[in-house]
Structures are given as C-alpha cells and as structure tokens.
A and B are shown apart, each in its own frame.
Chain A
Amino acid sequence: MRLIALWALPALAAALNFAVPRRAARAGRWRVASLVLVAALHLGLVATIWVRPPGPALDDWLAADALGLVVLTLTSVLFFVTSLYTVEFLKRGRRGAARVFVTGLLAFLAAATIVALSHHLALLWVGIEATTLALAPLIFHRHDRRSLEAVWKYLLISSVGIALALLGTFFLATAQHDVGGRPLIVADLVARAGQLHPAWLRAGFLFMLIGFGTKMGLAPMHTWKPDTYGEAPSPVSGLMAGALTSCAFLGVARVTEVAMAAGLDAFVQPVLLGFGMLSLVVAAVFIIGQTDLKRLLAYSSVEHMGLLVLGLGFGGVGAYGSVLHMLNNGLTKGWLFLIAGNVVLATGTSSAAASRGLVRTLPVSGPLLVVGLFAVTGSPPFGLFLSEFTILRAAIAAGHPWTAAAMLLLLAVIFVGMAALILGMALGEAAPGATPIQESRWLVAGPIALAVAVLMLGLYIPAPLRDVLARAATALGGSAP
C-alpha cells in the first residue's frame, strides 16, 4: 500500500496542478503549498519504510530493497529541501511560471519513486524515461535561446540513450528465454543468473550501461550535462545532479547485479573501470580553466559518476563505497547547486568573472560555497572523503595500484581547478560599494541542512544506514568493510 501511495500521491498532485489553469486567482501560492505538502508527506512515508519495511507489491514489481531504499531516501530528502527553496525561488521568477514548474517537479518525484522501487526492469525503464520527460520543460524555464539549446541537446541525447537502454532490456529478456522465472523481474534474473544466455546477457549489459550511463552523464556520453546544468534553474540542476543521476545509476547497478550474479565479473569490471577512468579524465580536463560555476559543478558531477562506476568495477568494498558515495554526492550536489542558485539570484549570473567577494556580499551562501568546495572534492571530515577513500581501498585490494594512483592524481587536479574558480569567486575583492545582502531563510535553510547531513555522514554513519548499505553492497557482488 505504502509502495503505491509513494508514487501515486505526487502523480495525482501533478495532475491536479496541471488541471488548474495558469491564470487562476492566487493559484501560485496554492501550487507551492501543495508542492511542499506532498514533499513532506513523501518524506514521512519514506521514514516509515525505514522503521517498518513493507512487503513487495503488485506481484513483486515494486519492492523496497536496500539499494532502492538508499536512492528513494536520497530523492525524497533532496526533493523536500528543493521544495522549500522553490517557495522563495518562484516569487523572484517570471509570473505564471509556477504551473509548469510545480507540475514538472511533482511528476519527476513520481517517476523517480517508481525507478527506486521498481524490481521489473521494463518498469524501471519506463520510470527513467518519465523522469527525462518530466524535467525537460523545466530546463526551458527562462524561455531564451541558451536554455532552448540546452533543452534540445538534453532531449535528443537522453532520448537516444534511453532508447539504447530499452534495446539492452530486450537483449536481457532474450537472454532469459528458456530459463524460466518471471520475465525481467530482478529477483528471478538473479536467482537463475547462471543459466542466462551469456552472449545476450553481455550485449544487454553493454547497452543498458551505455543507455543509463548517458542519463548518468558518464564520459563520453556526458556532452549534454554542462549545457543542461548550466542553463536549467539551479534547484532543477540540483535535483538532476543529485537525484536523477542516482536513479540512472540504479539502472546500471541493477543490470550489474544480474551480470555479477551470472559470474561475468571478468567482462563487467574492465568495462566499468574504462568508463569510470575516462569520466575522471574528461572532468579534470574541463574543470581546469572553467569560468562558470554551474558548468564547473556539472563537470564535477561527471567526475563523481565516474567514481560511482569505478567503485562497482573494483568490487569488494568498492560496491559499499559506491552506494555510500551516491548518497554523499547527491546531498552535496543539492547543497552546491542551491548555493549557486543564490549566487545567480544575487548577481544575475553564474559566471565566475562577474562575482567577487561573495563571502562578504552573501553572508551565509558565501561561506557555505567555500565549505562546499572542500566537501565536494572529498576533503575530510566530510562524507565524500570517507566514500572516496573506501573506493580507493577497493582499488588497492583488487590489485589495481596504478589505477588508484591515477585516480589520486586526477582528484588532485580536479581539486586545484575547482578551488581556483570557487575561491576566486568567494574571496576576491568585492566590487566597490557592494553591501552584504540579507538572505531569505527559505533560500539558505536547505543548503545548511544538506551541509550538516554531509558532515555527519563523514563523522558517523548510523547503524541502520550502515546495515542497509552493507546489504546493498552484497547484492552488487561486493562486501561491507
């Protein structure tokens, strides 16, 4: 029941919002209120799942297993924080934009929830497709040439990626032929993985990795990412970088789960490592000399997606590191994109050259931006340090010392590149006559909460979370540290 309410509630709210005409009197306030209310209810429902896990629903099509629960929780937390931010954000934007904005966000929440809960690979695919379409109108929020170019690239590249993932899903169904079990149900695929047709399973894995990898933004399929994150409204970029990429990663993780259970480690791992390292290299190259804060964060997202598949590729404790890293990265990306949004609201642009001395002019967001720099680059004591360290440990344990060394080098390069841009924006000399701005509570509450969460995950992982992470890692063919 709860598994159905979780996605039906936002879907219903989205339909209602769309049904109310754009110019209805005082509709804007009600829309935002419904957004926050649905987000809070969703978060509450997710919390009850942690306390009392529900059984599978709809003939095993929906279930909340460990891996899905991590994605679901991350999505719900980020969405709640974003909905609070939206309260003030929409007041400052174009009039009449709330209808599309709120509808799109709620539809995204419904689709992402389906992805997180889905144990049928075709349903998972439908969910990921729906997230793509739900967010497309939001990228076009500003209605100008640059956002149009961004939404075009996003739609075209994502659609092709998603189409290839569907082909991969068909390949997987072909591999399952003659094997028995319900078609494309993850549990049945895993239980009889050894009997799956190996050649079709390999083909299915490759296509699903490339397809969902496109949605994650793994290099070389990442080209839509800097444009989209750069042009989309900041809270939308934050949701995409934190929640949408995690949903796509879940797609990759599910098929990896099946392939690992079939004993294809020797085929799967080098492919994952290749995409991961390439993503790190591309991110490092484009982060050096970057001039725009949001594009910088987009390349940082490419980097972290690379780390996620690297963790899967190393196996062992790497799988644990990957799932933990997904959580850390999602929270941190939400934090930083919301801060970037505050910078854009204050200065009108995310270009680094235009803003200097943010620590002085934005008394809350400025310092949070600097702290965020250290968090996102994996410095202690933040959560990302812990998860990146776990992935590096897995690299050494799996006998890849040179890969580990290359990773460290690239991470160092990325740190230097990001520090140069962000410290320049935060610390430089403010324009003469610039006075500190009184920042709205709605705009800073979310980032502060996320920052506290990321810091906490670096110092102490609560026992229930540790248990769930360990179970997710085991499902992915790895182990807990």
Chain B
Amino acid sequence: MNGLSEILLLLVVLADFAVLGSARLSTCIRTLAVQGLLLGLLPVTLTPGLSAHTAVLATGTVLVKAILLPWLLTWAIREAAVRREVEPLVGFIASLLLGSLAVALAFAIAVRLPLPLPASQQELLVPVSLATVMIGFIVLTTRRKALTQVVGYLVLENGIYLFGLTQTESVPYLLEIGVLLDVFVGVFTMGIVVFHINREFDSLDSARLTELTD
C-alpha cells in the first residue's frame, strides 16, 4: 500500500499550501479538516495488516483532527462573528514562495538525516512532516487574526504527528494520546481565549493585543 501512502502524503503537502494561500478563514478550516482526514488514513495505509492499535489511532485522529477541531473553530467563527478574511502580514504570493522554500529545505534535511528504520518505511514521511511543521510555523507568524494563528498551530501539530507515525512501533499509544490530548486541550483553552478576545476587543485581531510593551 506504499503507493497509496505516497499519494496521501502529497495531498497533505497540497493542503499545507491551500492553507497558506487561501484568503478566507472558512476555507482554511475546511482544508484543515481534509488534512486531518488524510492524517487519520495514513496509519492504516502505512502498516500492513490492520491491528487494533492502528484502528484506534486512525479513528481517534479522524474524530479529533477532522471533525472535532474544525467544528470548534467554525463554532468560534460563528459565535464571535469574525469577518472571514485572513489578513496576512506577508502577502499570499510571498507566503507561497516561503512555503516552497520550506518544502525544499525539508527535503534537503531529510536526505542528510536518513531514518534508522527498515526500508519498507515510507520515505516521504520525514520530508513531508518537516515541511508541514515549517509551513504551520509560517502561518502562525505571518497572520494577524487570532483564529488563523490557531490554524497555523494546528498545521504545525499535524507535522509533528506525521513524524510521530515513524515511531508507532517503538513508543506505542502514549505519544499519540499525548498529541491528541494536547491538540484538544490546547484548542479548548484557545477557544475560551478567543471568545474573551472577542468580547473585550470587538475583534479577533491579535495585532491589537499590543498594550504590553517595554
């Protein structure tokens, strides 16, 4: 099933770029949901034979990353009546260029750092993971809206999850639970904050959070 995993991983990168290039927050969230679904399928296609562990991991990932988190974010948009634009600090073209640079860098690093794992492991996993981490970081740092920053953080977490997939054999369960819990609780807390930001500032523009300076 290696060919299928390869396609899924390429789609993950495409989703990265879709988040990077879309001007509407709702598109970003929908793309994030698609990426979550892809991440849920990957453990199934990567490991031959469906074990209970893989099934639990896949189901949990889809539930959290493809359904729960996007729903929470959409709820936050509606509750807070956010205007839909993303409002980048860096233009979309420049963001996409930065993203391409990140992918190139990720592949360069992955070539120099081979995984000490059997060759049957998916070769694309490490570069795609690193690229997703970097693109998440780009979204996080170059967007002004608080909710878009949360999207960037979640993309970054998705990249880390991808890397974690290389370790499902040696460190089972705990890390996956850790990641899911982290994403869940992190966004839960951020949701509360987002809700309050809206009430206090009438806008979710984190660039307005500038009272505290030296």
Residues of B within 8 A of A150 (CB): 212
Contact of A156 among B115, B153, B164 (CB under 8 A): B153
B2: interface (CB < 8 Å): no
Q: Which residues on the B side are within 8 Å of A286 (C-beta)? A: 214
- The answer to whether B160 touches A163 (Cβ under 8 A) is yes
Contact check, A133 vs B186: say whether CB atoms are below 8 A apart: yes
B179 contacts partner chain A, Cβ-Cβ < 8 Å: yes
Q: Which residue of B lies closest to A291 (CB)?
A: B214
Task: Output the least CB separation between A281 and chain B (Å).
Answer: 15
Tally B residues with Cβ within 8 Å of A. 43
Interface magnitude class on chain A:
35 or more
B186-210: contact bitstring with A at CB < 8 Å (1 yes, 0 no)? 1001101100110011000010011
CA distance A382 to B115 in the complex (A): 50
Residues on B with C-beta less than 8 A from A129 are 178, 182, 185
Q: Which of B170-184 contact A (CB under 8 A)?
A: 170-171, 174-175, 178-179, 181-182
Interface membership of chain A positions 170-213, coded 1 if the CB is closer than 8 angstroms to chain B and 0 otherwise: 11011111100001100000000000010110010000000000
Give the complex CA separation of A231 and B212 in angstroms. 9
Is B113 a contact of A160 with CB atoms below 8 Å? no
Q: How far is the CA of A171 from the CA of B115 in the complex (A)?
A: 10
A146:B149 contact, CB within 8 angstroms? no
Contact A177 B170 (CB under 8 A): yes
Q: Does A295 count as interface, using CB distance less than 8 angstroms?
A: yes
Q: Contact between B167 and A173 (Cβ–Cβ < 8 Å)?
A: yes
In the complex, A48→B47 CA distance in Å? Answer: 48
**B residues with CB within 8 A of A:** 112-113, 115-117, 133, 137, 140, 146, 149, 153, 156-157, 159-160, 163-164, 166-167, 170-171, 174-175, 178-179, 181-182, 185-186, 189-190, 192-193, 196-197, 200-201, 206, 209-212, 214
28 contacts between A and B (CB under 8 A): A122-B171, A122-B175, A125-B178, A133-B186, A144-B200, A145-B211, A148-B196, A149-B209, A149-B212, A150-B212, A155-B193, A159-B153, A160-B153, A162-B182, A166-B175, A170-B166, A174-B115, A174-B117, A174-B166, A184-B171, A199-B112, A199-B113, A200-B116, A227-B212, A231-B212, A286-B214, A290-B214, A295-B214
Shortest 5 CB-CB contacts between residues of A and residues of B: A149-B209, A227-B212, A183-B171, A177-B116, A183-B170
Further 8 A-B residue pairs, CB within 8 A, beyond A167-B159, A170-B163: A129-B182, A145-B201, A149-B212, A160-B140, A169-B175, A177-B117, A177-B170, A183-B171
